[in-house]
């Protein structure tokens, strides 16, 4: 698969990116302390929103009325979730509001996602916790500090926003109830989990990860496991896996219609995988997508 369009070049590392629902805007979170907003069709840079520290994540709200950015604890700043409003002329306000999740600069937020009605932002942190921010009051409404023993890397919702799944350096993924962040299921892996996702058509979850690049050289070739693994969502047992990269698998996403999944790896590759008919006969099967 060849690249159809390229946005940039960016002057620094890009930690994360998000496309709005209509696929008209792309936002990138950059290491040079900026969020850049691009026109998807033309590839033109539309706006740069400056921050005080490197930006680690970014996300459009439903309806594109707001955007959040996550900044870390460098240069003496507290880690923050920043809420950026969209102006009437379609530009993004430079005068954003910031929420600091902890009293110290160690409570670094690693990932965040908008809730179903834009009233809340769910986020996870390096201390393994998951919490919910009320956007209007700028207060943390509830949290679970015992989700993971090590850094929580990502969170992702199911299709109906009833559950979310986490991935962590403690080699587990957790299925949480969105109402109170209680742990519903635990999926044990033999390597750190960088991201996980929930199937919309099967009782399956997918886990992706592997040892980080600094640790790979200390492990024999036969022990390297750069796989995407499938687990039964209800019974928590491993169903199978696919060795799809030559380095840690940093991200994964299931097709919203259940037709396949994509993975992105440390080897610089994005791979698109299509399910065959046998997949829909596995334990946890519901309906084969049209």
The per-residue pLDDT for 1 is: 47
**In this structure, which long-range contacts are made by residues 185-193, counting pairs with CB atoms below 8 Å and at least 24 apart in sequence?**
185/233, 185/234, 185/236, 186/236, 187/231, 187/236, 188/236, 189/229, 190/225, 191/225, 192/153, 192/168, 193/153, 193/167, 193/168, 193/169
Q: Provide the percentage of residues in the chain whose pLDDT is more than 70.
A: 88
Predicted local distance difference test score (pLDDT) of residue 216: 56
The segments of the chain whose pLDDT lies below 70 read: 1-10, 102-106, 212-225, 287-290
Asked, as a colleague might, if the bond just before 283 is cis with ω within 30 of 0, I would say no
Give the pTM.
Answer: 0.91
pLDDT in tens, 174-197: 999 999 999 999 999 999 999 999
The per-residue pLDDT for 103 is 56
Residue 76 pLDDT = 84
Q: What is the pLDDT of residue 6?
A: 64
pLDDT at 56: 95
């Amino acid at each position: 698969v060849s690249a159809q369009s390229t946005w940039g070049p960016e002057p620094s590392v890009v930690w994360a990116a998000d496309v709005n629902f209509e696929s008209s805007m792309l936002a990138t979170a950059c290491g040079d302390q900026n969020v850049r907003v691009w026109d998807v069709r033309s590839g033109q840079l539309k706006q740069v929103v400056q921050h005080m520290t490197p930006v680690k994540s970014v996300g459009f709200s439903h309806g594109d009325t707001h955007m959040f950015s996550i900044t870390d604890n460098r240069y003496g700043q507290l880690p923050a979730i920043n809420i950026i409003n969209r102006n009437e002329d379609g530009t993004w306000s430079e005068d954003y509001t910031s929420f600091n999740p902890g009293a110290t600069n160690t409570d670094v937020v690693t990932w965040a996602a908008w809730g179903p009605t834009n009233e809340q932002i769910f986020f996870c942190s390096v201390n393994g916790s998951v919490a919910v921010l009320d956007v209007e009051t700028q207060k943390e409404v509830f949290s679970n500090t015992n989700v993971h023993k090590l850094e929580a890397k990502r969170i992702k919702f199911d299709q109906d926003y009833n559950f979310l799944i986490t991935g962590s350096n403690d080699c587990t993924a957790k299925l949480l109830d969105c109402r109170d962040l209680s742990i519903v299921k635990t999926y044990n892996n033999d390597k750190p989990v960088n991201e996980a996702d929930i199937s919309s058509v099967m009782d399956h979850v997918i886990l992706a990860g592997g040892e980080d690049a600094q640790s790979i050289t200390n492990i024999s070739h036969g022990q390297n496991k750069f796989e995407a693994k499938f687990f039964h969502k209800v019974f928590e047992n491993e169903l199978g896996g696919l060795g799809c990269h030559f380095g840690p698998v940093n991200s994964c996403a299931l097709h919203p219609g259940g037709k396949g999944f994509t993975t992105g790896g440390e080897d610089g590759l994005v791979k698109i995988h299509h399910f065959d008919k046998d997949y829909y006969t596995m334990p946890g099967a519901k309906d084969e997508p049209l």
